[in-house]
Amino acid sequence: MTLDDVDAHLRALDGVRARNTEGRRAWYVDGLLVARADAQGTLLVRLGGRDRERLVSAHPTTFGVPPRWEAHAKVQADLAGDADAIRAALHLAWERQRTARSGV
């Protein structure tokens, strides 16, 4: 998966807007971060709690939590990993952020 693939997937979801943040590609819904490019070949996805734990357990070669992100609701995805799992994580992050604003 590439950042262009991530962009195409996220832009197909309602309300997602792309921007550059600190020189990195990032995607937001209603002003809330969904994902952003992280270290070379990785993507930071805004997910925490059970969703994060489940993804890391189910796909340990695709997802991880670097020490700097342990206290945050974020998971790092290796773009060379399972593309379907990454798309599922992006969808979960989009849904989480979309409902955070609407209170649904």
70-95 burial, b at 16+ Cβ within 10 Å, e below that, comes to eeeebbbbbbebbbebbeebbebbbe
- 102: pLDDT confidence band, cut at 50, 70 and 90? low
Domain count, the chain: 1
User: In this predicted model, what pLDDT tens digit does every residue of 34-58 receive, in sequence order?
Assistant: 999 998 999 999 998 899 999 999 9
User: In this predicted model, what pLDDT tens digit does every residue of 72-87 receive, in sequence order?
Assistant: 899 999 999 999 999 9
Residue type, 46: R
Residue 95: give its domain's CATH number: 3.90.1150.30
What is the pTM (predicted TM-score) of this model? Answer: 0.92
Q: What is the span of the domain harbouring residue 28? A: 3-102
